[in-house]
Structure 1
């Protein structure tokens, strides 16, 4: 990991694109920009481990990373794949406690880091910012409830279809391996391989150059229901 020198106008521009800061007044943006810096990581670098102190809000500037948990047996469950523009580590940044997840770079990436103590002070001083934080935390909670519901009520093939629907279709998008898909769905690679074949045989998807593409939207939509 290394720290990259950045210009003030670039930091302000980054904040204006982010869902936590996009409509904040200029003086607040200037104050926040003075407490943020840019870090560069290589593929495989761990940004932080579960249980580590992580007193900063993070924003992906470039590249991708994965948020994951490990079971007591060492099995990995991918909570989320982070892409450019995504924000993470909100929980420790705003509650000041230790980090609840692990984060690892999937490729060379650059990540903005904003001081958590400053952000907690802004919550106390500015109701406008506090409302933004509450709104985003509510969205995150709804997303987690949806993920838990899918694991409880849907078979792996249906959950796989729903996950594929969320993946970017562009050729430049990061490639997901079957191991990563399995980790994201809370299952094992062999089960994902069988479910993938089932979706292919039905005509819902096709796999070219190890990339998953939706072949028939109508059939695919049936699998998502």
Structure 2
């Protein structure tokens, strides 16, 4: 972790980095456009997963409900990300809700159309497999941080990941450009809003973070890196 301000329009984890130009063009040709507004649900947990979504603009949070009714944000999909359920021979259902965080422009890909494309162009299957392997590493790293470092470390890890995905340098530190509530942060680490409030107050008292105009500014990234023994993971893994 800890590669702040190296986000690019086509970051290392985005699907265009895994597909050849020809295959990305083929994928684009089978997409149909969809617009959705903040707060809209693209799908619900348990719905039939018969399509994938490619983000052109905006952000979508993938949120899973726990047995006690709490929400856990699994991923925040941003431009260049592809999300959905894919890779099994059996019919699947979504394991999470897809909720629009910021107005989005999407490309929707029907699984049946993608299967035909892969059948016609075998090299695409290998490229998609590499992408899925990268996504698995990303998810494993997030759960590892939560399990090994507890809520405090998980929040520190989340803030580092946010600086990598949405960080912009300014005179005070790294500004996280996406607007997040304390509840959003709590849902990212399986905590409560009150717990996050307490931890953020401690970070602020330590001079590590500030809140300005509804955006978090990380003023001491090393503070958070030390909390989780930051190993300078690649951006493809250390992201939100």
Into which bin does the TM-score normalised by the smaller protein fall? Answer: 0.7 to 0.9
TM-score, scaled to structure 1: 0.82
- Deviations along 1:154-196, one digit per CA (max 9) or x if unpaired, are 0222211111111123468321111010001011111111111
Provide the rounded CA distance (Å) in 2 between the counterparts of 1:32 and 1:152. 37
Gaps of 5+ in 2: 1-13, 169-174, 230-240
Q: Are 1:56 and 2:77 matched, yes or no?
A: no
Provide the rounded CA distance (Å) in 1 between the counterparts of 2:222 and 2:64. 34
TM-score, scaled to structure 2: 0.77
**Other-structure match for 2:125:** 130
**Other-structure match for 2:214:** 210
**Other-structure match for 2:225:** 221
- Please tell me whether the aligned partners of residues 69 and 78 of structure 1 are also in contact (alpha carbons under 8 angstroms): yes
- Please tell me whether the aligned partners of residues 156 and 195 of structure 1 are also in contact (alpha carbons under 8 angstroms): no
- Please tell me whether the aligned partners of residues 162 and 224 of structure 1 are also in contact (alpha carbons under 8 angstroms): yes
Alignment of structure 1 residues 146-185 onto 2, 5 Å? 146-167=141-162, 168-170=166-168, 173-185=177-189
- Please tell me whether the aligned partners of residues 203 and 219 of structure 1 are also in contact (alpha carbons under 8 angstroms): no
- Please tell me whether the aligned partners of residues 15 and 131 of structure 2 are also in contact (alpha carbons under 8 angstroms): no
Following superposition, the deviation at residue 41 of structure 1 comes to 0.7
- Deviations along 1:13-55, one digit per CA (max 9) or x if unpaired, are xxx972453x153xx5565444211101111110001111231
Q: Which has the higher contact order (CA 8 A, sep 6+)?
A: 2
Following superposition, the deviation at residue 68 of structure 1 comes to 0.4
Following superposition, the deviation at residue 111 of structure 1 comes to 0.8
Report the CA distance shift for 1:17/1:48 in structure 2 as closer, same or farther (over 3 A).
Answer: closer
Q: Which has the larger radius of gyration?
A: 1
Provide the rounded CA distance (Å) in 1 between the counterparts of 2:176 and 2:209. 19
Gaps of 5+ in 1: 1-15
Report the CA distance shift for 1:217/1:31 in structure 2 as closer, same or farther (over 3 A).
Answer: closer
Provide the rounded CA distance (Å) in 1 between the counterparts of 2:129 and 2:114. 13
Q: Bigger shift: 132-141 or 119-128?
A: 119-128
Q: Bigger shift: 120-129 or 155-164?
A: 120-129
Alignment of structure 1 residues 54-93 onto 2, 5 Å? 54-91=49-86
RMSD: 2.4
Following superposition, the deviation at residue 92 of structure 1 comes to 7.1
Higher helix fraction (1 or 2): 1
Match of 1:100 among 95, 98, 104: 95
DSSP 3-state at the match of 1:187: coil
Provide the rounded CA distance (Å) in 2 between the counterparts of 1:29 and 1:150. 33
